[in-house]
């Protein structure tokens, strides 16, 4: 059985904070943030939630695929910032969309989450277990951000992106690519955030005090060094494993964390920057939502064509990292 992405969608909150707004909160500047990260602004939730953004991105992806919600067999939501512990975000999305036949669960692997959701869904589809999957990355990182910490608050934003995957007779190559993924819990201290529901007897943390461990804390340089070493390596691994030459790849769709990371990865792979689309200037780092938001933008701009090969690559907290090759298809092309 083969399977492929056949529709995309996204939802971006309309409220924005640009670098000048951030400079009113911490000692930083528009110039510093642009130069070190490439980020100019980020979109921040107002009335939205992780679940509401996930549902809207999912609805738009199904519309793009031209499939009714009843056809969906599997809904996966990748998130580290759901507004709900129970029920899972994926079940809420199911309810919102009326995807009554779907099996639903969430997946948590930070900025690698969407790549792992893609791999998980592909395993179900190519294994013949399900025919149609809706995978979503949705994040409200503004809730986990310490707005007094200039080392992190400049980076993150909110949003959701989604893709519909469909099993079918799409040709020999499609859906037969093997992914490469890695985890290294031993280096997890580089990027941490305690749960607000971290119990100490009866004292459930309410997330309102000055204890910064309940917000994202990051050793920025350690994460930067990890990314520029491990991302080119894992892309090299996935290409070699599948006997695909770099020349066959139309786009490398990397997790959008920092423009300098993307530039170093391109250089180390010896590939031109035109193959590395970016939108982090507008959205900042939206963790597991960044890859599907970018994918959806490119799809809607008409930049994705049937038969193109793409590499999706994620990296982040855990530490986790991985890459997958996607052959683009649209049910309408
Ligand atoms: O999704 C995956 C998770 N995260 C990432 O991918 C993040 C990876 N890391 C990064 O993107 C970068 O490390 C940062 C953007 C976070 C920081 O950039 P950097 O070039 O690594 O800066 P740095 O931490 O080495 O700091 C350089 C200087 C320091 O000052 P001194 O010691 O040289 O005087 C910092 O105190 O810049 C200072 N600094 C700032 N200055 C103005 C740190 N943050 C800021 C800031 N504004 N926001």
Let me know: does 320 contact 175? Beta carbons within 8 Å: no
Cβ(2)–Cβ(168) below 8 Å: yes
The atom of ligand 1 lying closest to the CA of 255 is 1
pLDDT at 208: 52
**Cα distance between residue 260 and residue 38, in whole Å:** 8
Q: What is the mean pLDDT of residues 39-65?
A: 97
Q: How many helices (H) and strands (E) does the chain have?
A: 9, 15
pLDDT digits (tens, 9 = 90+) for 281-298: 999 999 999 999 999 999
Residue nearest atom 44 of ligand 1, based on CA coordinates: 151
What is the number of domains present in the chain? 1
pLDDT for residue 171:
58
Residues with active-site annotation: 111, 255, 285
Residue 212: band (very low, low, confident or very high) from pLDDT cuts 50, 70, 90: confident
Return the C-alpha torsion angle 252, 218, 192, 22, nearest 10. Answer: -90
pLDDT grade for 1, boundaries at 50, 70 and 90 = confident
Average pLDDT estimate for 22-43: 97
User: pLDDT value at position 198?
Assistant: 66
Distance 256 CA to ligand 1 centre (A): 16
Write the pLDDT tens digit of every residue in 111-151.
999 999 999 999 999 999 999 999 999 999 999 999 999 99
pLDDT tens-digit series, residues 222-272:
999 999 999 999 999 999 999 999 999 999 999 999 999 999 999 999 999
**Cα 288 to ligand 1 centroid, rounded to whole Å:** 21
Report the pLDDT value the prediction gives residue 196, as an integer from 0 to 100: 77
Strand order in the sheet with 158-168: 2-11, 158-168, 132-140, 74-78, 103-107
Mutate to test the pocket of ligand 1, among 220, 225, 284, 286 (most ligand atoms within 8 A of CB): 220
Please tell me the predicted confidence (pLDDT) of residue 127.
Answer: 92
Q: Give the tens place of pLDDT for each residue, 141-191.
A: 999 999 999 999 999 999 999 999 999 876 555 557 999 999 999 999 999
CATH number for the domain harbouring residue 306 = 3.40.47.10
- pLDDT (mean) for 305-317: 95
DSSP H helical ranges for the chain: 19-23, 30-37, 50-65, 89-97, 113-126, 220-241, 259-269, 280-283, 290-300
Tell me the CA distances in angstroms from 17 to 45, 210, 287, 304, one per residue in order. 11, 23, 17, 30
Q: At what angle do helices 220-241 and 259-269 cross, to 10 degrees?
A: 40
Q: What is the rounded distance in angstroms from the CA atom of residue 57 to the CA atom of residue 49?
A: 12
pLDDT above 90 coverage of the chain, percent: 87
Contact in structure between 17 and 158 (CB atoms under 8 Å): no
Question: Which atom of ligand 1 lies nearest, measured to the CA of 22?
Answer: 48
* Residue environment code for 226-252, b if the CB has 16+ CB neighbours within 10 A, otherwise e: bbbebbbbbbebbbeebebeeeebbbb
Range of the domain at 275: 1-333
Give first-to-last CA distance, the chain, whole Å.
20
| Smallest CA separation from ligand 1 atom 42, residue | 28
Pocket of ligand 1 (CB under 6 A): 28, 32, 36-37, 111, 150-151, 154, 191, 218, 220-221, 223-224, 227, 257-258, 285, 316
Q: How far is the CA of 220 from the centre of ligand 1 (A)?
A: 6
pLDDT at 37: 98
The predicted pLDDT at position 172 comes to 52
pLDDT given for residue 170 in this prediction = 65
Atom 47, ligand 1: residue with shortest CA distance: 28
């Amino acid at each position: 059985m083969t399977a492929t992405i056949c529709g995309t969608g996204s939802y971006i909150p309309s409220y924005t904070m640009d670098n000048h707004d951030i400079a009113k909160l911490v000692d930083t500047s528009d110039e510093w943030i642009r130069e070190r990260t490439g980020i100019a602004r980020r979109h921040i939730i107002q009335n939205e939630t992780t679940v509401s953004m996930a549902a809207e991105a999912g609805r738009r992806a199904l519309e793009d695929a031209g499939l009714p919600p009843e056809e969906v067999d599997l809904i996966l939501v990748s998130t580290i910032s759901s507004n709900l512990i129970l029920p899972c975000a994926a079940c809420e999305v199911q309810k919102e969309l009326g995807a009554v036949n779907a099996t639903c669960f969430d997946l948590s692997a930070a900025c690698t989450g969407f790549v792992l959701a893609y791999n998980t869904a592909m395993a179900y589809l190519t294994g013949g277990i399900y025919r149609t999957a809706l995978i979503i990355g949705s994040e409200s990182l503004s809730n986990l951000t310490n707005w007094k910490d200039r080392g992190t608050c400049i980076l993150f934003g909110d949003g959701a992106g989604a893709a519909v995957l469909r099993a079918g007779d799409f040709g020999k190559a499609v859906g037969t690519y093997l992914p490469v993924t890695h985890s290294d819990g031993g280096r997890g201290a580089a990027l941490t955030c305690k749960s607000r529901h971290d119990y100490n007897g009866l004292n459930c943390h309410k997330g309102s005090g000055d204890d910064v461990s309940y917000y994202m804390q990051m050793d920025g340089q350690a994460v930067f060094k990890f990314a520029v070493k491990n991302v080119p390596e894992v892309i090299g691994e996935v290409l070699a494993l599948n006997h695909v030459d770099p020349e066959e790849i139309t786009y490398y769709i990397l997790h959008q964390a920092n423009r300098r990371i993307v530039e170093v990865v391109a250089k180390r792979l010896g590939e031109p920057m035109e193959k590395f689309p970016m939108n982090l200037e507008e959205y900042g780092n939206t963790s597991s939502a960044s890859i599907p938001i970018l994918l959806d933008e490119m799809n809607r701009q008409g930049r994705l064509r049937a038969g193109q090969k793409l590499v999706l690559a994620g990296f982040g907290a855990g530490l986790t990292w991985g890459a997958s090759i996607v052959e683009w298809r649209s049910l309408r092309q």
